[in-house]
C-alpha cells in the first residue's frame, strides 16, 4: 500500500479516542502502544483536540505510533488537524474537498453504500471506513470485496473484541476499537495501565 497508510495492514487496529478529558495524550499513546495498538485516532469532538494532537505527535516517532484525527467534517478542520501533527484524517461520511485540504495526508473517508464507496474513492480517499459496520455485519464486507477488491476497507462502529476478527476475515483491512479499549472514564482518570490491558486484550482477540 502506497497511500500513506503503510503498516495498517499489519497492525489492523485503530484506537478511536472519544473522551471529554485527556490528561496526557502522550501517556495515552504510550499505553496503547504498550498494549499493541500503534494507530491512534483523536477526534474533533474532544475539547482541545489540537493540543492533544500536538502532544501526541511529539512522541509518535519515538513510540512508533501513527497519530490521526477523526470526525473531520470541513476543509478547515482538515487543515488544522494536519497543522497540529495529524498523520492521517478520518471522516464519518463522504466529504468533498477534504483530500485536497489534507495536502497529501491520507484520508480515510466514511461511507456505507456501494455508491458512497465509489464516491469516496473518486474524492481521493486512501481507504474507506464503513460506518456503522455493525448495521450490516461482517458479511457486508465480503459483499463489498466483490465489486471493490482493491479498495482498502476499515470497519468502524460496533466493532468489539468478540467480532473484530470476523470483520478482518471478511475482507476488512483494519478495525476501529472504541470505548471497549479507550473508555472515556478510564482515559479521563489517567488509568493508563487499564488502557494498556484493554488494548492487549483486544489485540489478542483479533489475533485469535
CATH number at residue 84: 3.20.20.70
Q: Give the separation between CA 116 and CA 78, rounded to whole angstroms.
A: 20
What is the mean predicted confidence (pLDDT) over 80-88?
Answer: 98
Alpha carbon distances (Å) from 21 to 17, 30, 58, 109, 185 = 10, 17, 19, 26, 9
State in Å, rounded, how far the first CA of the chain is from the last one: 25
Give the residue-averaged pLDDT of 148-156.
Answer: 97
Average pLDDT over residues 156-173: 96
Pairing mode, if any, of strands 107-111 and 88-90? parallel
Q: Are strands 153-155 and 174-177 parallel, antiparallel or unpaired?
A: parallel
Evaluate if residue 1 carries a pLDDT over 60. Answer: no
Residue 102 placed within a domain: yes
Model confidence pLDDT, tens digit, residues 22-65: 999 999 999 999 999 999 999 999 999 999 999 999 999 999 99
What is the model's pLDDT at position 3? 74
* 6 assigned to active site: no
- Computed over every residue of the chain, the mean pLDDT equals 96
- Domain assignment present for 118: no
64 found inside a domain: yes
Average pLDDT over residues 55-81: 98
Q: Is residue 21 part of a domain?
A: yes
Q: Active-site residue among 129, 166, 196, 201?
A: 129
Range of the domain at 52: 8-107+157-165+177-207
Which helix (H) or strand (E) is 26 found in, with range? helix 25-34
Residue 110 CA to residue 120 CA, distance in Å, equals: 8
Q: Is 100 one of the catalytic residues?
A: no
Annotated catalytic residue, options 6, 27, 41, 76: 41
pLDDT grade for 6, boundaries at 50, 70 and 90: confident
Query: How many domains is the chain built from?
Result: 1
Amino acid at each position: 500500500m502506497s497511500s500513506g497508510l503503510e503498516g495498517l495492514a499489519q497492525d489492523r487496529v485503530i484506537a478511536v479516542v472519544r473522551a471529554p478529558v485527556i490528561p496526557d495524550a502522550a501517556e495515552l499513546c504510550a499505553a496503547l502502544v504498550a498494549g499493541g495498538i500503534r494507530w491512534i485516532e483523536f477526534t474533533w469532538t474532544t475539547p482541545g483536540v489540537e493540543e492533544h494532537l500536538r502532544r501526541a505527535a511529539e512522541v509518535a516517532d519515538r513510540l512508533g505510533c501513527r497519530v490521526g484525527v477523526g470526525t473531520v467534517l470541513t476543509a478547515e478542520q482538515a487543515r488544522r488537524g494536519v497543522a497540529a501533527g495529524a498523520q492521517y484524517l478520518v471522516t464519518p461520511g463522504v466529504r468533498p474537498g477534504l483530500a485536497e485540504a489534507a495536502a497529501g495526508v491520507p484520508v480515510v473517508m466514511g461511507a456505507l453504500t456501494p455508491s458512497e464507496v465509489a464516491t469516496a474513492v473518486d474524492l481521493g480517499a486512501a481507504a474507506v471506513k464503513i460506518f456503522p459496520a455493525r448495521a450490516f455485519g461482517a458479511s457486508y464486507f465480503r459483499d463489498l470485496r466483490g465489486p471493490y477488491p482493491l479498495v482498502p476497507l476499515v470497519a468502524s462502529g460496533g466493532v468489539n473484541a468478540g467480532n473484530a476478527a470476523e470483520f478482518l476475515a471478511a475482507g476488512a483491512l483494519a478495525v476501529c476499537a472504541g470505548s471497549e479499549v479507550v473508555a472515556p472514564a478510564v482515559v479521563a482518570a489517567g488509568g493508563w495501565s487499564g488502557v494498556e490491558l484493554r488494548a492487549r486484550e483486544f489485540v489478542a482477540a483479533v489475533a485469535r
